[in-house]
């Protein structure tokens, strides 16, 4: 009998992708006990990417790194053979801030440490997933962790963070780990923002990280100086503004090739094999909205599936026409069962099991 593939992303603030998949699978097992179910939690490069890779058979590797404001913390990357999956949010994400937002001083240094650990372990391919960044440092911290040195006009090392880049006078890349040149870097991102300007990293994403209008100007000045020191042409590429400009550093210095996050991750996680022979795919995320249509996990899963796809979600703000355009046959929002958002998030697991029973009734009975 053909199987059902359960391939959701996380419900942010409520359940991980692994937990969402488990709840849906439990609901299906109870409502349609004779139907085989396969589970493949997915991610699009943002928070939860390492967890999804581990669920797909990668090994979790823990290491001590610097958080966004320098505090030491344990973060993970995922490894299988010579491939490493590094999630920027693991070390440098908003959820790693210890005491409030730090738009001017947060750094990506810890992400560089994760990359360095993977390279020292012998990985020859590094997939860098970006999303949820706390920093707007243009990836300067990331490169500093890998051996780059940044100095002000007095020859003093720059402090961490995007604001300090205004004082950059000299960049020395001679200390970069020589092994980096032997590594293939891929940037998993759906962000098409450039580094600078009105659609750049500071202007668009700085306010989400706590930057005031004055802070945005400071960060823009710093990123402009940084771009001139590294490679102003790459600063204009789509994706250079990803993760506060970490995409710029990855492309300009590490030679990273940018690929759509969900497409790259589905390939890496083994989605083509998992969906082969499936009769139905159940995907989902916390909120189905306009962002979903711009390359988020459910839309990517629907595009790649080749079989009917339905979605579970905390809420859905998409019209029936938008869902059809995205290739999603039906959506089952938790808000239909529990309108109160707080109670819905608190009881998401039970609600997902009930949604799965509805999916089984609508799509699996008498088929």
Determine what percent of the chain is predicted with pLDDT higher than 90.
Answer: 94
321-344 burial by CB neighbour count: b if 16+ within 10 A, else e? ebbeebbbebbbbbebebeeeeeb
- In terms of Cα–Cα distance, which of 299, 315, 308, 302 is closest to 351? 315
Q: Which single residue is written with the structure tokens 């908003």? A: 94
Q: Is pLDDT of 217 > 50?
A: yes
Q: Which residues pair with 170 in a beta bridge?
A: 151
pLDDT value at position 291?
87
Give the Cα separation of 332 and 352 in Å (integer). Answer: 9
Label each residue of 266-333 as H, E or C: HHHHCHHHHHCCCCEEEEEEEEECHHHHCCCHHHHHHHHHCCCEEEEEEEECCCHHHHHHHCCCEEEE
- Tens digit of pLDDT for each residue in 310-355? 999 999 999 999 999 999 999 999 999 999 999 999 999 999 999 9
CA distances from 1 to 24, 277, 365 (A): 19, 9, 13
Q: Which residues pair with 185 in a beta bridge?
A: 126
- In terms of Cα–Cα distance, which of 114, 124, 79 is closest to 93? 114
Please tell me which residue, 295 or 54, carries the higher pLDDT value.
54
Count of all residues that appear for the chain in the document:
367
pLDDT value at position 367?
47
pLDDT value at position 17?
96
Give the Cα separation of 152 and 303 in Å (integer). Answer: 48
């Amino acid at each position: 009998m053909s199987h059902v593939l359960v391939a959701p992303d996380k419900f942010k603030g409520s359940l991980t992708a692994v937990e969402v998949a488990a709840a849906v699978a439990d609901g299906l097992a109870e409502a349609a006990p004779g139907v085989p179910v396969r589970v493949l939690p997915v991610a699009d490069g943002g928070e939860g990417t390492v967890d999804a890779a581990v669920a797909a058979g990668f090994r979790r590797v823990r290491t001590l790194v610097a958080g966004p404001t320098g505090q030491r913390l344990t973060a993970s990357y995922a490894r299988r053979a010579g491939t490493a999956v590094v999630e920027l949010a693991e070390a440098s994400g908003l959820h790693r801030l210890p005491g409030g937002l730090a738009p001017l001083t947060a750094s990506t240094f810890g992400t560089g440490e994760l990359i360095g650990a993977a390279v020292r372990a012998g990985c020859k391919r590094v997939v860098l997933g970006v999303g949820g960044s706390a920093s707007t440092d243009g990836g300067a911290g990331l490169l500093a962790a890998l051996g780059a040195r940044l100095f002000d006009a007095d020859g003093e090392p720059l402090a961490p963070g995007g604001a300090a880049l205004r004082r950059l006078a000299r960049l020395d890349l001679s200390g970069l780990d020589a092994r980096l040149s032997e590594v293939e870097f891929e940037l998993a991102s759906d962000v098409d923002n450039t580094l600078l300007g009105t659609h750049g990293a500071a202007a668009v994403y700085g306010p989400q990280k706590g930057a005031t209008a004055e802070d945005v100007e400071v960060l823009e000045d710093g990123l402009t100086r940084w771009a001139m020191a590294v490679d102003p042409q790459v600063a204009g590429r789509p994706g250079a503004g990803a993760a506060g400009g970490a995409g710029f550093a990855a492309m300009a210095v590490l030679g990273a090739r940018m690929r759509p996050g969900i497409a790259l991750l589905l390939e890496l996680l083994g989605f083509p094999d998992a969906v082969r022979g499936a009769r139905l795919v159940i995907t989902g995320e916390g909120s189905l909205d306009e962002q979903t249509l711009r390359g988020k996990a459910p839309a990517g899963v629907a595009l790649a599936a080749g079989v009917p796809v339905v979605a579970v979600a905390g809420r859905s703000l998409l019209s029936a026409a938008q869902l059809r355009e995205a290739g999603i046959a039906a959506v089952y929002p938790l808000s239909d069962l529990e309108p109160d958002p707080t109670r819905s998030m608190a009881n998401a697991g039970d609600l997902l099991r009930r949604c799965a029973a509805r999916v089984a009734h609508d799509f699996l009975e008498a088929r």
